[in-house]
Amino acid sequence: MICFSLYSAARATTQVYRRLLAPWSLTYPQYLVLAVLWTEGDQTIGSLGEAMQLDSGTLSPLVRRLERDGLVTKTRDADDERVVRVRLTDAGTALRAEIAPIHKKVAEIAGVGDLQHRELIAELREITARLHES
C-alpha cells in the first residue's frame, strides 16, 4: 500500500534527522522552521504555517523554543498587531553553515543521487498537491 510506504519513509527520515540534529539539540520540525527562514527570509506565523503545512497551535511552540534558544525573534507587525513576524537572529543565521547541509547527508544515507533527488521531490510535490485537492 502506498500509504504504508509513505508513512514508513517519513518515519525513517524523521529518525535519521533526529540522530543527525541531536548535537544541536534541535528537533526535525525546528530544523524545518529554520530551513524555511534560511531560504525564504522573515516570515509571519501564518506564512510559516503554510510553508510547513502546520496550524499555529502546532507551530507556535516550535517557534517559542527556537526563540528561547536565541535562534529566532518574534515581533508584532507595526501595521497589524495580530500578525506575528518571525526572523532569524545572528545565531540562527550562523547556524545555517553548520546544519543546513544535513539534508544532503540524509539523501546520501537514503541512496538518492542529485538527479533522482530532483525527480523524487517533484513526484512527492505532485502527490501532495493531488491529495490536497481531493
> What's the pLDDT tens digit per position in 96-105?
999 988 999 9
Better pLDDT: 38 or 80: 38
> What's the pLDDT tens digit per position in 54-81?
988 889 999 999 999 999 999 998 888 8
- pLDDT in the model for residue 100: 84
Looking at the DSSP assignment, which residues form a beta bridge with residue 88?
A: 72
Percent of all residues in the chain with a pLDDT value above 70, rounded to a whole number: 100
Architecture of domain 14-96: Orthogonal Bundle (1.10)
- Domain assignments of the chain as residue spans, ordered by start: 14-96, 101-134
Looking at the DSSP assignment, which residues form a beta bridge with residue 85?
A: 44, 75
pTM: 0.89
- pLDDT in the model for residue 25: 95
Provide Rg for the chain, Cα atoms: 16
Residue 13 makes CB contacts below 8 A (sequence gap 6+) with: 106, 110
